[in-house]
Amino acid sequence: MTAPAPIRQIVIVGGGTAGWMAAAALTRLVPAGIAVTLVESEEIGTVGVGEATIPPIRNFNALLGLDEADFLAATQGTIKLGIEFVNWTRDTHRYVHPFGEFGFDIEGVKFHQIWRKLYEQGRAREIEDYNVCALAMRAGRYQPPVSDPGSILSRMAYAYQFDAGLYARYLRSYAEARGVVRVEGKVAQVPLRAEDGFIEAVVLEGDRRIAGDLFLDCTGFRALLIDQALGAGWESWSHWLQCDRAVAVPSESPGPEITPFTRSTAHRAGWQWRIPLQHRVGNGHVYCSADISDDEARETLLANLDGAPLRDPFILKFEAGRRKRAWHRNCVALGLSSGFLEPLESTSIHLIQSGIHKLMALLPDTGFSPVERDEYNRLTDLQMQQVRDFIILHYHANQRQQGDLWRRMREMAIPETLERKLALFRNRGRFFRYEDELFAESSWIAVLLGQGIVPQGWDPLADGLDDDKLATSLSRLHEMFARAAQAMPRHEDWLARNAPARTPA
Ligand SMILES: Cc1cc2nc3c(=O)[nH]c(=O)nc-3n(C[C@H](O)[C@H](O)[C@H](O)COP(=O)(O)OP(=O)(O)OC[C@H]3O[C@@H](n4cnc5c(N)ncnc54)[C@H](O)[C@@H]3O)c2cc1C
């Protein structure tokens, strides 16, 4: 029996963030001899949002060998040290989800357990005061992390905020310079092979035909290949995540200060993001259309900008959920075509990155063994569910008095996977990270505590340590962290010195 032939031609349909991330990564990852073609339609355009990321984006950029300063300069990029949540727990309340760890474990006991015990005694500050990213966020400062584990700066972690259009353009020039062929045109038909229903080719308006072995559906919410051609199915999660629209608008920067974080502010029927870039601020109001009209959502957004809008607000419609099979036959969906979770924790771009890595780890041949496909789908489902649970947590654990959305979210039944996590944490602050879960313990702890879930007790291991010594250690730790944060340059000064924006071509 002869082995199936290797893949020779990969066709990517769609030139948004997903399409160009995939194209750029493939130039580094696939063996020589595999041709990559990307089809996109300027007339259709891209979704035009997606500007905040999480720290693993740096691994993606490192894979491509991008120079950080050049990348930030080209994309009007800024540093993101975390997310500030305003009014999420209740009105006028604020907390942060900083990247990077809280404190240091002491004699094998987790820092948050020690903190919980001393907080009970009134001998610990708020937990954010022991996180160098949180303190730097508050001070509007930034300095790159260092690798020496003895340095406080080794506790720093960061991601980026950038202009989505410029990012796609940047990746496009990278990919084209390394051999990816870009075809401008609108896909009009997707003929399937009679014998097995696999995609044979995509046919553009004007009848140009592009054949391939493997097709990546990066067509955004249209899901042209995976859904319209292949009907891979959709599982809705809208009973848990009820927001189904966003109205977005860029605005002028309010002044020279550029906050090194994304802000999320809860409103009556949703929440508003604020993403500071070098040249402007990205804003959007995510809302539940059953609770508020488009006009009112638009007015709420405009009333809560801190700079003049730079264009008319535009509305996007979506549904939370996932593609039942993100890999179906010879097609893999990446980006919005594969599923949607609202951008509360800026996870969509990461899910694209993770999809590309999984696909490369399971790269098929033209025999398309179900073994590889099934593992890809299993891992994708698991990751989507874990991110979904993290997002639901923010909504569910709220004490907001205003707005029916918040009452429904508080009272709804949540997934069993999240229920279990909450019960463990409520009891003695325990947390387990299952199967390579994206968000680490420190992220969950930040949001659990931030949303007002304080464990009833603590790990008995913390009782084996001397309270007075712990109180002294915590107080020193905070001083060290605060001093380190204050010694950093202001974020906008660091950018101006290290990565000043290039005017987009
Ligand atoms: C309101 C909102 C806010 C978001 N904020 C964030 C965030 O802060 N952080 C984050 O990580 N993610 C965020 N996301 C998600 C993020 O925007 C997307 O994951 C990312 O932009 C990838 O989009 P995409 O490439 O899948 O789709 P798109 O950008 O929609 O690209 C689709 C591409 O397919 C092409 N296409 C479609 N049909 C055809 C056709 N027939 N023929 C040829 N080409 C075609 C289009 O021209 C386009 O090039 C947000 C999403 C929304 C809706």
CA 335/CA 217 separation, integer angstroms: 8
pLDDT at residue number 217: 99
Closest C-alpha to 352, from 76, 43, 56, 62: 56
Ligand 1 pocket test, pick from 12, 37, 38, 44 with the greatest ligand atom count within 8 Å of Cβ, gives: 44
Average of per-residue pLDDT across 345-360: 98
pLDDT of residue 218 exceeding 70? yes
Atom number, ligand 1, closest to the C-alpha of residue 14: 34
- List all residues whose CB is within 6 A of at least one atom of ligand 1: 13-19, 39-41, 44-47, 49-53, 164, 186-187, 218-220, 222, 224, 246, 248, 284, 316, 318, 335-337, 343, 346-349
Nearby residues of 436 by Cβ (< 8 Å), 6 or more positions away: none
The least confident of 303-317, 425-439, 458-472 is 425-439
The three-state secondary structure class of 246 is: strand
Helices (H) and strands (E) in the chain, counts: 14, 21
The three-state secondary structure class of 488 is: coil
- Which are the catalytic amino acids? 80
CA of 16 to the centre of ligand 1 (A): 5
Atom number, ligand 1, closest to the C-alpha of residue 45: 47
pLDDT at residue number 434: 84
Nearby residues of 308 by Cβ (< 8 Å), 6 or more positions away: 251, 252
What the block records as the tokens of 285 is: 């109001």
pLDDT of residue 120 exceeding 70? yes
pLDDT at residue number 2: 84
Q: Ligand 1, atom 24: nearest CA belongs to which residue? A: 220
Q: Are 140 and 260 in contact (CB under 8 A)?
A: yes
Average of per-residue pLDDT across 375-402: 97
Q: Are 437 and 386 in contact (CB under 8 A)?
A: yes
- Percent of the chain past pLDDT 70, that is, above it, reads 99
Going from the C-alpha of 344 to that of each of 83, 341, 484, the distances in angstroms are: 9, 8, 29
What the block records as the tokens of 495 is: 């950018």
Question: 436 or 422: which carries more pLDDT confidence?
Answer: 422
Ligand 1 pocket test, pick from 348, 349, 439 with the greatest ligand atom count within 8 Å of Cβ, gives: 348
Average of per-residue pLDDT across 242-247: 98
Q: Ligand 1, atom 49: nearest CA belongs to which residue? A: 15
Complete DSSP assignment for 319-338: --EEES-SEETTEEE-GGGG
Instruction: Note the residue count of the chain.
Output: 505
CA of 15 to the centre of ligand 1 (A): 9
For 60, how many CA atoms within 13 A lie in the half-sphere containing its CB?
28
Q: Please calculate the CA angle 185-312-84 and round it to the nearest 5 degrees.
A: 100
Atom number, ligand 1, closest to the C-alpha of residue 349: 11
358-387, pLDDT tens digit by residue? 999 999 999 999 999 999 999 999 999 999
- Provide the pLDDT confidence category of residue 503 given band limits of 50, 70 and 90: low
- Provide the pLDDT confidence category of residue 150 given band limits of 50, 70 and 90: confident
- Provide the pLDDT confidence category of residue 255 given band limits of 50, 70 and 90: very high
What the block records as the tokens of 277 is: 């870039």
Closest C-alpha to 340, from 222, 239, 221: 221
Q: Looking only at Cα atoms, what is the longest distance across the chain? A: 78
CATH fold, domain 9-78+162-236+320-386, is FAD/NAD(P)-binding domain (3.50.50)
Atom number, ligand 1, closest to the C-alpha of residue 286: 1
pLDDT at residue number 505: 45
Which helix H or strand E contains 135, and what residues bound it? helix 132-139
CA of 335 to the centre of ligand 1 (A): 7
- For the chain, give every domain's residue range: 9-78+162-236+320-386
pLDDT at residue number 128: 97
pLDDT of residue 356 exceeding 60? yes
pLDDT at residue number 149: 86
- Provide the pLDDT confidence category of residue 502 given band limits of 50, 70 and 90: confident
- Would the pTM of this model clear 0.85, i.e. be above it? yes
Q: Are 396 and 419 in contact (CB under 8 A)?
A: no
pLDDT at residue number 107: 95
Q: Where do the DSSP E strands lie in 56-200?
A: 78-80, 82-86, 94-98, 159-161, 181-184, 187-189
CA of 91 to the centre of ligand 1 (A): 32
- Mean pLDDT for the chain overall: 97
CA 387/CA 410 separation, integer angstroms: 19
Atom number, ligand 1, closest to the C-alpha of residue 51: 8
Q: Are 244 and 297 in contact (CB under 8 A)?
A: no
pLDDT of residue 212 exceeding 80? yes
Complete DSSP assignment for 346-377: --HHHHHHHHHHHHHHT---TT--HHHHHHHH
CA 431/CA 420 separation, integer angstroms: 10
pLDDT at residue number 504: 57
Ligand 1 pocket test, pick from 38, 83, 219, 344 with the greatest ligand atom count within 8 Å of Cβ, gives: 219
Nearby residues of 95 by Cβ (< 8 Å), 6 or more positions away: 84, 85, 88, 89, 128, 446, 449, 450, 451
Nearby residues of 234 by Cβ (< 8 Å), 6 or more positions away: 227, 321, 322, 323, 324
Going from the C-alpha of 180 to that of each of 63, 171, 361, the distances in angstroms are: 17, 11, 21
CB atoms within 10 A of CB 294: 14
- Amino acid symbol at 161: Q
pLDDT of residue 154 exceeding 50? yes
The three-state secondary structure class of 182 is: strand
- Amino acid symbol at 424: L
Beta bridge partners of 40: 184
CA of 218 to the centre of ligand 1 (A): 8
Average of per-residue pLDDT across 260-284: 98
CB atoms within 10 A of CB 366: 14
CA of 17 to the centre of ligand 1 (A): 6
CA of 387 to the centre of ligand 1 (A): 19
